[in-house]
Structure 1
Amino acid sequence: MFRGVHNLTIDAKGRLKIPTRHQVQINKICEGKMVLSIHPDDPCLLLYPLKDWQTLEEKVSALPSLNIHTKRLKRKLIGHATDCELDSASRVLISVTLREYANIDKKIIMSGQGNNFEIWDEHTWHKQLANLDILSEKEDVPSSISELTL
């Protein structure tokens, strides 16, 4: 499980160093092989271990191909997917196209989401969190969340 929020920096070549606490886990579960893609709804990137990505890709591929929502999801999520592998310094290269999509310049946030990571431009991350707080105040909390014990 990938947890935690990490403040990181992209180097001049567009490489992201994976935090030390996740390096062993990534090498163990996927031998450093990962997939990077865009989030279909948010201006961020998704980084998955190859095995988890393959499971997700199979589910998306099984959706009705003529449905407009399926087309959108496939074109964004699968169409932008890029295989990547941790290099000897535990870095992942983020292509210019993906960095441009997420407005990533130098400072980023890498947020563990369980079986994957979200990669955000630092400024966009903070704006998104504030926006989610505002939006959540306008809606009732679903019972499935209000019944959750922390």
Structure 2
Amino acid sequence: MDRFVSTYAMRLDSKGRMSVPAPFRALIARDGLEHVYCHPALDLPALQAGGARLMAGIDSLIERYPPYSEAREELAAALYGSIETLRLDPEGRVVLSETLKLHAQITTEAVLVGLGDSFRIWEPARFRAHLAEARAKVRALKQELGSQGATRVNRADGA
């Protein structure tokens, strides 16, 4: 596997540790890392996490702006400044800081959701609500794209 995919439900133990799924750990290890980069998502009540690809995406986003520009400095502060390095223990667990847990409102359970180059960590009820909203938007987009395709087919047929 070369992408973070699938959804995993995890529990935090009494010490606040959470297992990172083996497929996710394999991708992190492939990057030569023994930790996960994690930061509060900028526009969602979730955490953004990953390895080298996450950092490369952040680097690419920030580098779109001129050096010393206000936008570049704000993005760098918001992203680099909030990243925490979560060390994987020998059993593949990480400890979420209180700051991270507070942002995502995670207490005893979390859901890890693959996004390709990274993954998100959600409080389960918040993820279910987000997923329902996302699916509704995808259905609407599918209908819109389908109707555009039907119009093109009709026009191609001379209708």
Normalised by the size of structure 1, how large is the TM-score? 0.79
- Kept in 2, the 8 Å contact 1:43–1:103? The answer is yes
What secondary structure, in the 3-state scheme, does the structure 2 residue paired with 1:43 have? coil
Match of 2:154 in 1: none
5+ residue gaps in structure 2?
150-159
Q: Cα distance 1:70–1:134, how it changes in 2: closer, same or farther (>3 A)?
A: farther
Q: Cα distance 1:31–1:136, how it changes in 2: closer, same or farther (>3 A)?
A: closer
Instruction: List, as ranges, runs of 4+ consecutive aligned residues in structure 1 with deviation greater than 6 Å.
Output: none
Match of 2:36 in 1: 34
What secondary structure, in the 3-state scheme, does the structure 2 residue paired with 1:23 have? helix
Does residue 61 (structure 1) correspond to residue 65 (structure 2)? The answer is no
Structure with max Cα Rg: 2
State how far apart, in whole Å, the 2-side matches of 1:103 and 1:14 are.
13
What secondary structure, in the 3-state scheme, does the structure 1 residue paired with 2:79 have? helix
Identity between Structure 1 and Structure 2 (%): 22
The equivalent position to 2:24 in structure 1, one of 9, 22, 34, is 22
More helix by share: 2
What secondary structure, in the 3-state scheme, does the structure 2 residue paired with 1:34 have? strand
Match of 2:107 in 1: 105
Normalised by the size of structure 2, how large is the TM-score? 0.75
- Offset, 1:125: 0.2
The equivalent position to 1:8 in structure 2, one of 7, 10, 17, is 10
- Offset, 1:55: 1.4
Number of aligned pairs?
142
RMSD: 2.6
Match of 2:118 in 1: 116
Q: What do residues 45-97 of structure 1 show as CA deviations (whole Å, max 9, x unaligned)?
A: 01111x22331232233224323x972x4443322101122111111111100
State how far apart, in whole Å, the 2-side matches of 1:93 and 1:16 are.
6
